[in-house]
Amino acid sequence: MENYQRTDIRNIAIIAHVDHGKTSLVDVMLKQSRIFRENQHVGELIMDRNTLEREKGITILAKNTAITYRGVKINIIDTPGHADFSGEVERVLNMADGCLLVIDSIDGPMPQTRFVLKEAMQKKLKPIVVINKIDRENSRPEVVLGLVQDLFLELATTEEQLDFPVVYTSAREGYAVNTPGTKNTDLVPLFECILSKIPPPSIAQGEFQMLISNLDYDTHKGRIAIGRIQRGKICSRDRIVNIDSQNKAHSFEVGQVFTFMGLGKQEVECAEAGEIVAITGLENASIGDTVTSPLQPEALPRIEIGEPTVRMTFGVNTSPFGGRDGKFCTSRQLRERLYRELETNIGLRVEETDSPDSFLISGRGELHLSILVETMRREGYEFEISKPEAITKTIDGKIYEPVEALTIDVREDFVGEVTELLGKRQARMTDMHNDGEGNVRLEYNIPTRGLIGFRNSFLTATRGTGVLNSQFLEFQPWCGEIEQSRTGALVAAEAGLSCTYGLSNSQERGIIMIDANIPVYEGMIVGLHARGLDLAVNVCKQKKMTNIRSSTSDIAIKLVPPLKLSLEQSMDFIADDELVEITPKGIRLRKKILNTDLRLRARKRTDNN
C-alpha cells in the first residue's frame, strides 16, 4: 500500500550551536502565533523552564511545543545547542520531517553546527537555514551564507540537500526577511517558508506504530511516553504492545492521549499518524522502545546514540562531615537515583565497581556530567566524585582515545599564550583565521583529556574574553603524555574552625579558598600552593593571649578574598588523588587519603615505583 501525506501538520526540529539564538527564536514564534492571551506575561526564554537552564543560559533538555499558522499545526522540537547534550538531539530528530538550522550572523558555522547538520542530513530532514542576529552592528550575513554553503557541500549526500532555502531573522527584534538589509515587523516570511518547504509527514498504511523518543513523568499520571505516530491511530483505553530492547512484547492499556499546543499538553480522545503525542499507561516503557498495535506488532529501528567520551566515579560521601547536609546519603539511594537517570538520559552510562559504595558514570563531556551532579545536589543528594577522565579503547593492541575539534575565538594579543597552553596539551592546529580587526579564530584537534581542566587556564590567559567550543571528532591513537599544569594544594593539617590568624599565615604560601569560621577537617583542601608539591597547613591555629596581646587583635589582620570555585571549576581543578565532596549546602575539595602521614607514605611509595 502506498504512503499518503497529512497536509495539516508540519514537524520541525530547531537545531543550532549553543548561543546562536535558537531558544529566543522559539519564544518569538510562540508569541507571534498568538497562543498566549493579550494580558498573559510569559517573559523570555519560555522553553527553558528548568532552573539550571535559566541559570546557565543553555538548553539542556529537548522539549516539544506547537503553534498554528494558517490552519496548519506546526510541531516544534527545541533541542540543546551544547555538544555535551548531543544525545538529546540524536533521539528527537526521529520525530521531525524538517529542521531550522539557526546560525549566528557573526560567528557563522561552529562545531555543533556541523554535528547537528550532519545528523539532520543522515535522517533525510529538509533543512531551512536561518541566519539570526542580523540586527547586530557587526553582522555579516553574506559572508556567513558563503560559509554555510561550504558546509553543505562538505556534508551533503544528495544533490537535493544542496538546494536549501535561507531566511534572515532577528529573534530579539522579532522579524524575518528573505533578503538581508531589509526590515520587517514579524516572522511571516519564516512561517511561509516552513509551510512551503518543509514536507508534510508521510504516513504508512497499517495499524498503530510509534517509536518512543522521549519520556516525561507526572506524579499523578506516572510515566509518559512521547513520540511521533508512524502509522495508524491511537485512542485512550486502547490495548497496545510495547516491544523493548530485548525484543520482548509487553501488553498495556493506554490511559490518556495528549497532543502538544503552546507550552502545555491538551488531552484528546484519539490521535492519528503524523502527530507527535504523549501517552500515559506505559509503566515500563523506555526511550527507543516501539509501541504498536497487537494486530501488527512490528518493531521500528532503535535510536542509536553516540558513545560516551568522559567518565568519573560517584561514591558515598566518606568525609568526616558525611551525612550532615544531605537527605539522601546511602549507596542504595545513590544507586537508585543514578539508574533512574538512565531512563531519560540515554547518553549516560552507569557501571558497578568493585566497591558497593561507588559507581562509574560515563557521559558525553564534563558539562554533561556536571549538570547531573548539580541536579542531584539540588535534590538533596550527598556524595563524592572523582576527577573526570577520558575513556580509551584498545583496538588491535593499540590504545585509542577520543579527540575533539576545538574552535577558539580570541583577540590577537592572546594568541601566543593560548597556543603555548594548547601545545602542552598535545593539540594540533588545523586552521587559523584573522579577520583583520584584531579577532583570531583558531581551530585545533585535541585529545579530550587535554581539554579537562583547560577552560580555567584559558579564561585566565585571555582575561575572560576568549570563547572556546569543542565537538567530539573520533577516536584516534594515543597522542602521548600531557604534562600537569597545576601546582600543589594547601591541605588542612587538623580539624576545627578556620580562623583569621591561621588563614593569614597560610595565605603567605599560596591562594586561600575558604573564609574564616568555616568547619574544616584533616585532608580537606583549603587553598592552592605556590609550589609544585602539596603542603599541610593549620588554618585553625589561633594567636594565644599574653599579657601584652589579646586574641581580639586578630581583627586587625586583613585577609585576601578567597578563591571560590564553581562545580565545573572544582571538577577541572582536582588532581587524580583528590575528590569533590558534593552536598546540598556546598562543595568541598579533599584528598582521597585524609591522614597527612598516610598520604606522605603513599606519595613516597609512588615516587619509588
**Residues in binding site for GTP:** 19-24, 132-135
Q: Angle 86-88-92 (CA atoms, 0-180°, nearest 5)?
A: 120
* Of 420, 407, 408, nearest in space to 466 by CA: 408
Q: What are the grid coordinates assigned to 409, written together?
A: 575565538
d(CA 388, CA 394): 20
Decide if 116 contacts 472 (C-beta within 8 A).
no
d(CA 59, CA 81): 7
Contacts of 282-285 with C-beta under 8 Å, sequence gap 24+, read 282/212, 282/223, 282/225, 282/242, 282/252, 282/254, 283/222, 283/223, 283/252, 284/223, 284/242, 284/244, 284/250, 285/212, 285/215, 285/223, 285/225, 285/242
**Which amino acids are annotated as binding site, given as ranges?**
19-24, 132-135
Residues in Cβ contact with 496 at an 8 Å cutoff, skipping those fewer than 6 apart: 519, 520, 540
Residues, the chain, total?
A: 609
- Residue 245 backbone class (left: φ over 0; alpha: ψ -120 to 50; beta: rest): alpha
Q: What are the grid coordinates assigned to 306, written together?
A: 553516540
d(CA 260, CA 73): 10
Decide if 292 contacts 298 (C-beta within 8 A).
yes
Burial 106-135 (b: 16+ CB within 10 A, else e): bbbbbbbbbbbbebbbeeebbbbbbbbbbb
Decide if 278 contacts 260 (C-beta within 8 A).
yes
DSSP conformation class of 188: H
Question: Cα-atom radius of gyration of the chain, to the nearest Å?
Answer: 27
DSSP string, 486-548: ---EEEESS-EE--HHHHHHHTTSEEE-S-TT-EE-TTBEEEEESSSS-EEE-TT--PPP-SS
For residue 243, how far is the Cα from the chain centroid?
29
> What is the CB-side half-sphere exposure of residue 257 using CA atoms within 13 A?
21
Q: What are the grid coordinates assigned to 70, written together?
A: 494558517
Torsion angle of alpha carbons 370, 373, 379, 382, nearest 10°? -150
- H helix intervals, 323-365: 331-341
**415-423 and 454-461 helices cross at what angle (nearest 10)?**
160
Q: What are the grid coordinates assigned to 354, written together?
A: 568493585
Phi, psi for residue 339 in degrees, rounded to 5: -70, -30
